[in-house]
Amino acid sequence: MAWLSRCLGDVLDESTIVVNEYDLDVTQTCFSRPGSYFAPSPAAGLGWGLGAALGVKLAAPDKTVICAVGDGAYIFGSPTASHFVSRAYNLPLLVVVFNNRAWNAVKRATKAYAPDGWAVRTGAMPMSDLEPAPDYELICRASGGHGERVEDPADLPGALARALEVVNEERRQALLNVICKKP
């Protein structure tokens, strides 16, 4: 996830706005302009990122909007509806799914709340694993977007360049399903 965050940091420029729902490590990026970075408030619910990114794109149509989400947050963000809206209203985004095949926020909360509990002792945390993982890139493709699965870290810079070209030149949405280490 740190490498993915670093690669995203490398493509940020003055015309980019990032909506981050949990997984982007901002120590690997540089935001020097107000309004270029949005993250969840304590009142936010899981899945707000996709809708927030669409709203940001609607408010700033000339900006490149990147939505960084975990796979669990992506699922909760109503991806089919979000990709439909992106296409129907010409709101091209780059969605980057940090796919660790787990609801890690649930695992972290369980460990924090009950560090000596059964789930931590046994390593069994029902309903926190997201396997078998869907092919998230296909959901974007179903709405006319570019979708790509990235498994090799060396392929990430090229995949980001291709996806940003689709968003900025073709004016279509794109999604990168980036396979990350499972917690």
Residue 170: CATH number of its domain: 3.40.50.970
User: Is 113 part of a structural domain of the chain?
Assistant: no
User: Is 56 part of a structural domain of the chain?
Assistant: yes
- Residue 145 is part of which domain span? 2-103+134-179
User: Is 116 part of a structural domain of the chain?
Assistant: no
User: Is 109 part of a structural domain of the chain?
Assistant: no
pLDDT tens, residue by residue, 14-64: 999 999 998 899 999 999 999 999 998 877 788 999 999 999 999 999 999
The whole-angstrom separation of Cα 131 and Cα 142 is 21
Look up the pTM and report it.
0.92
The whole-angstrom separation of Cα 70 and Cα 93 is 16
Give the long-range contacts of residues 107-110, CB within 8 A, separation 24 or more: 107/183
Q: Is 80 exceeded by the pLDDT of residue 160?
A: yes
Q: Is 90 exceeded by the pLDDT of residue 147?
A: yes
User: Is 122 part of a structural domain of the chain?
Assistant: no
User: Is 27 part of a structural domain of the chain?
Assistant: yes
pLDDT tens, residue by residue, 163-172: 999 999 999 9
The total number of structural domains in the chain stands at: 1
The whole-angstrom separation of Cα 120 and Cα 38 is 32
pLDDT tens, residue by residue, 82-135: 999 999 999 999 999 999 998 887 788 888 999 999 988 998 887 788 889 999
Q: How far is CA 56 from CA 9, 38, 75, 110, 182, in A?
A: 19, 9, 20, 33, 30
The band of 174, judged by pLDDT with boundaries at 50, 70 and 90, is very high
Predicted local distance difference test score (pLDDT) of residue 61? 98
User: Is 128 part of a structural domain of the chain?
Assistant: no
User: Is 143 part of a structural domain of the chain?
Assistant: yes
Predicted local distance difference test score (pLDDT) of residue 33? 93
